Amino acid sequence: MNNLTKLLPLLPGAALLSGCGNAEKQAPRADRPNVIYLISDDLGIGDLSCYGATKVNTPNIDRLAREGRQFVNAYATSSTSTPSRFGLLTGMYPWRQANTGIAPGNSELIIDPDCYTMADLFHDEGYATAAIGKWHLGLGPKGGTDFNREIHPNTQDIGFDYEFIIPATVDRVPCVFVENGNVVGLDPNDPITVSYDHKVGDWPTGAENPELVKLKPSQGHNNTIINGIPRIGWMTGGKSALWVDEDIADVITERARNFITEHRDEPFFLYMGTQDVHVPRIPHPRFAGKSGLGTRGDVIIQLDWTVGEIMRTLDSLNIADNTIFVFCSDNGPVIDDGYADQARELLNGHTPMKDYRGGKYSAYEAGTRIPFIVRWPAKFRGEEVKTPFSMIDVFSSLASMLGHELPEGVAPDSRNKEAVLLGQERNTTDYVVQQNLNNTLSIISGDWKYIEPSDKPSFEHWTGMELGNAPKDQLYNITEDPSEQNDVAAANPEKVAELSALLEKVKAARQTR
């Protein structure tokens, strides 16, 4: 932890240069399980047949769940992508650092290169490390990314040996892959220009040429049209580097399989982010129309295929047994997320949120409750895990599994829950903290969930979601009332006082682990 950081109080939203410390390098050690952390995008706990979905079939993820620990009370740290992933990789609550909200496609790298990340941990333990697929944590220096030269800092500056990434999300420009700091397939004579505040170049936009789009926006998403899809942000140039949306799942799955195959004889850590099932939902033709639920269902099937390909790769190399395979989502599900893809009309009774209230963006349960599966055949058999678990605790739990003691300041909010994650014994989780779109925090402890008062706007016009912001305390008994229908704050002042005090303690702490 740098000195300046030490002097600053850790307040929610406080602008810190870096809140997570650095650590001495450790000599590589042999004989370690491989770790694959596969994080899908906007997938709901109700989107998988192993979690009870009946309208969509996900046989590969179901197999992973059958063979692994299937968590039924797991939470992402945040209800949107950037902060959720920031929390996972740094072990620090994202609301402790400014600039961790949903990142534009030309954002600087929002993880300070001095910060000791989960990738650094594996790197220092002698693992080959890679980040493949959706990134959404920015790239390059303050002031934004120049896509026409080797971009630094990139993920290789925070512990990944290899990167092949979608810089932000698939609905944001630039629509190109970046491999080890360089845009893949870029013609230097056709440089890329990107802007998030004004039109650049003369490529058509959704606003000016709506007749040119193959997928209409329902909200926003009306800037530069790439492959017939209007995006967020404007770009021009880099024509030879543009991805083909239908092929993204194939491309990143192939890269992941290659990485695994190349490193079959040494321990590896693969952080893989799928673009599925985020908007725009564009299935490959072999999945299009296969779910009967429209493209949102089709990309769930595509995602299941991806997971199956990774599992088959491990099987064929005979390394599945000693590979920890984590599968999860970054935040809760959303049905209409800004494109008129008929997701709602074609639901056909499918319930991405199950019975939970809210969804992506929300402080209510469906905002952060996620599917979460951990398989490690060499160590444990399949079982359902009811103990609550937060993704923020993955970092310290895996460090503990490696016998790696984290120095003070590193992963400051990630607590060692190895016993819950990897099933050596049952223990209980004392509390879990989550954040909604505008940093309203909630805390779950035992049967109870407390949502702090918030005067923040609801943004319902573009999220289409209840964010859970209310000017007064909210309290729910999520064991008796998992759908959060009855706010029982008024009847339980002592519980409210207890949980709000606990939340304030977490907020004020420099380190909670």
Within residues 392-421, the interface with ligand NG6 by CB under 6 A covers none
Binding footprint of ligand NG6, residue count (CB under 6 A): 18
Q: Which is nearer to Ca ion, 330 or 341 (CB)?
A: 330
Query: DSSP string of 41-110?
Result: SS--TTSSGGGT-SSS--HHHHHHHHHSEEEEEEE-SBSSHHHHHHHHHH-S-GGGSSS-SSPPTTPPP-
List 5, 18, 40, 81, residue binding ligand NG6 (CB under 6 A): 81
List 5, 81, 117, 302, residue binding Ca ion (CB under 5 A): 81
Q: What angle do CA 247, 254, 286 make, to 5 degrees?
A: 40
Q: Which is nearer to ligand NG6, 14 or 462 (CB)?
A: 462
Tell whether residue 136 is a contact of ligand NG6 (CB under 6 A). Answer: yes
CB of 104 to Ca ion, least distance (A): 15
Helix axes 294-317, 248-262, angle to 10 degrees: 20
DSSP E strand stretches across 334-466: 369-375, 383-385, 389-390, 432-435, 441-445, 448-451
- Backbone φ and ψ for 255, nearest 5 degrees, come out as -60, -40
Q: What angle do CA 93, 99, 105 make, to 5 degrees?
A: 115
Taking CB within 5 to 8 Å according to partner kind, which of Ca ion, ligand NG6, none is near residue 231? none
CB of 219 to ligand NG6, least distance (A): 4
Tell whether residue 80 is a contact of ligand NG6 (CB under 6 A). Answer: yes
Site string for ligand NG6, 268-287 (x = CB under 6 A): ----------xx--------
- Backbone φ and ψ for 62, nearest 5 degrees, come out as -60, -40
Tell whether residue 161 is a contact of Ca ion (CB under 5 A). Answer: no
CA distance 452 to 59: 39
Taking CB within 5 to 8 Å according to partner kind, which of Ca ion, ligand NG6, none is near residue 229? none
Within residues 324-383, the interface with Ca ion by CB under 5 A covers 330-331
Tokens read off for 14? 């406080």
Q: Which residues pair with 38 in a beta bridge?
A: 272, 327
Tell whether residue 104 is a contact of ligand NG6 (CB under 6 A). Answer: no
Q: Which is nearer to ligand NG6, 232 or 314 (CB)?
A: 232
Site string for ligand NG6, 12-51 (x = CB under 6 A): -----------------------------xx---------
Taking CB within 5 to 8 Å according to partner kind, which of Ca ion, ligand NG6, none is near residue 124? none
Helix axes 81-90, 394-401, angle to 10 degrees: 30
Binding stretches for ligand NG6 (CB under 6 A): 41-42, 80-81, 102, 136, 169, 171, 219-221, 232, 278-279, 331, 337-338, 462
